[in-house]
Amino acid sequence: MSFFALDEAATCCISSTVSDGKIRLMPHDFFEYNAALINREPVEPRTSGGLATWELQNLPWIEREDHSPTLSAMAPRIVVSYFPPANNSAGLRGLRDWAAVSSWLAALIDPAAAANDLIRAKAAQLTANATAEIEKIRAIASFVKQTKYVAVSLNLTRGGGYTPRRSDEVLAKNYGDRKDKATLMRALLKAAGLDAYLVTIDAEDRTYVRSEWASPTQFNHAIVAVRVSSAIVEPTVIETKTLGRLLLFDPMDSITPVGDLPRNEQGGYALVVAAGDGTLIQTPVVSAAANRVESTIEATLEVSGKLDARIQRRYYGQSAVDLRATEKFEGSSELKKRMERYFSRRLPASSVGAISTEAHPEGNFLNVNLSLTADRFGQLMQGRLFVVRPGLLASGGEYVSTCSRPNSGPGQSGSTRIYAGNPSRSRFPMDSSSMNFLSPPGLKVHMAPSKLAGFWKTENW
């Protein structure tokens, strides 16, 4: 239920044990430590004979539930950093705060981002047709995204794998890991006249990194922060006191364009590495409107109930990621199968015909155009009333996040817990659909869903 994390500072000089929710430290006289307790009220350690002991008792079992927060957001954690005193004779630096962590990382990271003649030539080639600031960033970002991912760890004994390869080497060999790709992008941007910083972040769990524990061991990923002018207005631009306006971008994500961030990287803490000016930031959460889906539907109905429809869906932001990935990595045929599965769950005897896509990275949306037929979309009841359900063609309606829990005791009923979930996924009611139906001859509208007029329009029945 708890675990122990150590800084890189001096692991050889401190002994520690972890068992049964208990942590013991036996520090030497020339080392200090800071400790924090995550997801629980602070607990002072018991000290005796130079031994410091933190102990947690009666820890409750955490039941895993659908759509619940991650375990790291709920389970207690004891985290400890230890380091030499500031005035130590060996000149060792302790990672006491985030500025110290930034300075330590900058010494490992910045030299590799230097721009030489090879880097400058490539940057000039990539930005030859770019005049605006955002065009230069997009051109360089597009190139770096295609660099092949190969994990490379250097300087493990000192830098713990935080040392990237030189940017010109990454460029020449066209491969690198996360920090290598971020370093290459920084160097190309610098050659193009734009300052950029490496940003360390946890790419899997937005709740994992905690501000109260200054430690580089909390991070597992690297992205880029580009210093931009006021002319650039994007959802992923943040304001900082020491570095100004920064545009965040993940060059590892080949799907997400400039101006957006992957879902798991939104709303968490990240460290902008800029020597003594480095700062811990909270990444922005892109609004629900920026992840909306807009549908336009033109349809013809027959008395038999058959539907012929032409559907265009515009997927904004992260709502388009899965579709982009499917088409890029599995092909258009798999994208069509995905759409067929989607509509077959809603409409029996339906069939998806031609399908095409139009990518618009500058607007961060994807258009999907398709034709659809369904033999039993409408139903003629007693020869007098023709009933249809337009909502079956609308997007959305798939964000149910409930979890039933068993009875907690005799005579007590079960309960249902509802979690808000990932804010970047919760776009309802931002989705919208506009529908135009050509009804069978001789029929007119008797009853329309007026309460849902904000979600779709019914015209030309």
Same-domain status, 293 and 273: no
Residue 141 belongs to what domain range?
100-286
335 three-class SS: helix
Same-domain status, 281 and 319: no
Flag whether 340 is in a domain.
Answer: yes
Burial class (CB in 10 A: 0-12, 13-18, 19+), 82: buried
pLDDT in tens, 213-259: 999 989 999 999 999 999 999 999 999 999 999 999 999 999 999 99
Work out the average pLDDT over 194-208: 95
Q: pLDDT at position 351, please? A: 94
Domain edge (last residue) among 286, 319, 349: 286
Domain edge (last residue) among 71, 93, 115: 93
Q: What is the CATH number of the domain that holds 158?
A: 3.10.620.30
- Asked if residue 270 has pLDDT above 80, the reply is yes
Flag whether 6 is in a domain.
Answer: no
Same-domain status, 308 and 274: no
Domain edge (last residue) among 286, 313, 336: 286
Flag whether 80 is in a domain.
Answer: yes
Same-domain status, 199 and 265: yes
Same-domain status, 446 and 349: yes
pLDDT in tens, 370-409: 999 999 898 888 777 888 888 888 876 443 334 444 444 3
Number of domains in the chain: 3
Neighbours of 63 (CB within 10 A): 11
Same-domain status, 275 and 213: yes
Same-domain status, 228 and 359: no
Same-domain status, 148 and 201: yes
Q: pLDDT at position 46, please? A: 84
Flag whether 2 is in a domain.
Answer: no
Same-domain status, 171 and 112: yes
Flag whether 59 is in a domain.
Answer: yes
- E strands present in 286-401: 293-301, 307-316, 350-360, 365-374, 379-381, 385-387
Same-domain status, 213 and 296: no
pLDDT in tens, 132-180: 999 999 999 999 999 999 887 766 666 667 899 999 999 999 999 999 9
Same-domain status, 195 and 327: no
Flag whether 432 is in a domain.
Answer: yes
Neighbours of 441 (CB within 10 A): 7
